[in-house]
Amino acid sequence: MLAVGKMNRLQVVRRSDFGLFLAGDAEQTILLPKRYIPKDAACAPGDWLDVFVCHDSEDRLVATTETPKVQVGEFASLKVVDITPVGLFLDWGLAKDLLLPHSEEQRPLQVGDYCVVYVFLDRRKGRITATARLDRHLDQEPARYRVGQEVDLLLVSATEMGFKAIINNRHWGLIHKNELFKFVRSGMREKGFIKELRGDGKISLSLQAIGQEAVGSLADQILAKLQEHNGVLPLNDKSPPEKISAMFGVSKGNFKKAIGSLYKQGRIGIHEDRIELAGD
Domain layout of the chain by residue ranges:
7-64, 75-135, 150-206, 212-277
pLDDT confidence of residue 218: 84
Instruction: With beta carbons less than 8 A apart as the criterion, state whether 89 and 83 touch.
Output: yes
Could you count the other beta carbons within 10 Å of the beta carbon of residue 27? 6
pLDDT confidence of residue 109: 95
As its CATH architecture, domain 150-206 has: Beta Barrel (2.40)
Rounded mean pLDDT, 248-257: 83
Element (H, E) at 275: strand 275-277
Q: What is the CATH number of domain 212-277?
A: 1.10.10.10
Q: Residue 13's pLDDT band (boundaries 50, 70, 90)?
A: very high
Q: Residue 249's pLDDT band (boundaries 50, 70, 90)?
A: confident
Three-class DSSP category at 185: coil
Q: Kind of pairing, strands 203-206 and 171-176?
A: parallel
Instruction: With beta carbons less than 8 A apart as the criterion, state whether 96 and 56 touch.
Output: yes
pLDDT confidence of residue 251: 80
Distance CA 34, CA 50 (A): 15
Distance CA 19, CA 29 (A): 12
Rounded mean pLDDT, 114-132: 92
pLDDT confidence of residue 258: 87
Q: Which amino acid is at 57?
A: S
Q: What are phi and psi of 9, to 5 degrees?
A: -105, 110
Q: What are phi and psi of 149, to 5 degrees?
A: -65, 135
pLDDT confidence of residue 250: 81
Looking at domain 75-135, its CATH superfamily turns out to be Nucleic acid-binding proteins (2.40.50.140)
Q: Residue 44's pLDDT band (boundaries 50, 70, 90)?
A: confident
Model confidence over 25-35: pLDDT tens digits?
777 899 999 99
Q: Which of 221, 172, 177, 220 is nearest to 198 (CA)?
A: 172
Model confidence over 179-215: pLDDT tens digits?
887 888 999 999 999 999 988 889 999 988 776 666 6
Same fold, 7-64 and 212-277: no
Model confidence over 80-102: pLDDT tens digits?
999 999 999 999 999 899 999 99
As its CATH architecture, domain 7-64 has: Beta Barrel (2.40)
Residue 280 has pLDDT above 60, yes or no: no
Sheet with 268-270, side-by-side order of all strands: 232-233, 275-277, 268-270
* 136: exposed, middle or buried (Cβ count in 10 Å: 0-12, 13-18, 19+): exposed
Spell out a b/e string for 210-241, using b for 16 or more CB atoms within 10 Å of the CB, else e: beeebbeebbebbbeebeeeebebebbeebee
Rounded mean pLDDT, 161-183: 92
Residue 143 has pLDDT above 70, yes or no: yes
Rounded mean pLDDT, 50-66: 91
Residue 246 has pLDDT above 90, yes or no: no
Of the two residues 67 and 245, the one the predictor is more confident about is 67
Q: How far apart are the first and last CA of the chain?
A: 64
pLDDT confidence of residue 255: 86
